[in-house]
Chain A
Amino acid sequence: MASYYDIDDIIMEDELISTVFQIGANGVGMLDPGAERNCVEQGAKVELPFWLAHELHLRQAVAVTVPPCFNQKTRKEIQADAACVDLKSRCSYFYELGCKVAPLIGDRTIGSFLLYAFTGRYKEVLSKAHSAAFIMAPKFLTLLTKEETRLYEAARSSMTAFKKWRVGGPRFERASILRKRKPTD
Chain B
Amino acid sequence: MYGRRASQLLKDLSTNEPGQLSSFDTDAFDQVIKECDAHHIELQGMMRKMQEEGLDMQTTRNADHYGAVIHHLALIRNKRCLMAYVYNRAEVIQSLRWKVGAVLPQEVQQKVNYSEEEYFKNHSAALESYMSEMEVDLTVDMVPPKDPYIKVRVLDDIGDVFLSDQSPNLARHSIHFLK
Contact = CB atoms under 8 A, between A and B. Distances in A.
A26 B46 contact: yes
Given A26-B67, A52-B70, A182-B175, A7 B45 contact: no
A175 B171 contact: no
Interface range on chain A (Cβ under 8 Å from partner): 20 to 34
B64 A27 contact: yes
Interface in A53-105: 55-56, 59, 61
Contacts of B3: 14, 49, 51
B177 A181 contact: yes
Contact of A174 (B61, B73, B149, B176): B149
Nearest to B85: A7
A178 interface: yes
Contacts of B146: 172-173
A115 interface: no
Interface in A1-53: 4-8, 10-11, 14, 23-28, 30-31, 39, 49, 51-52
Nearest to B147: A175
Contacts of B174: 182, 184-185
B124 interface: no
A172 B147 contact: yes
A7 to B, nearest CB: 5
9 contacts: A10-B7, A23-B61, A25-B70, A28-B67, A30-B1, A30-B2, A56-B66, A173-B147, A182-B174
**Closest 9 A-B residue pairs measured CB to CB?**
A25-B66, A26-B67, A27-B67, A24-B63, A185-B171, A26-B63, A25-B67, A14-B7, A5-B87
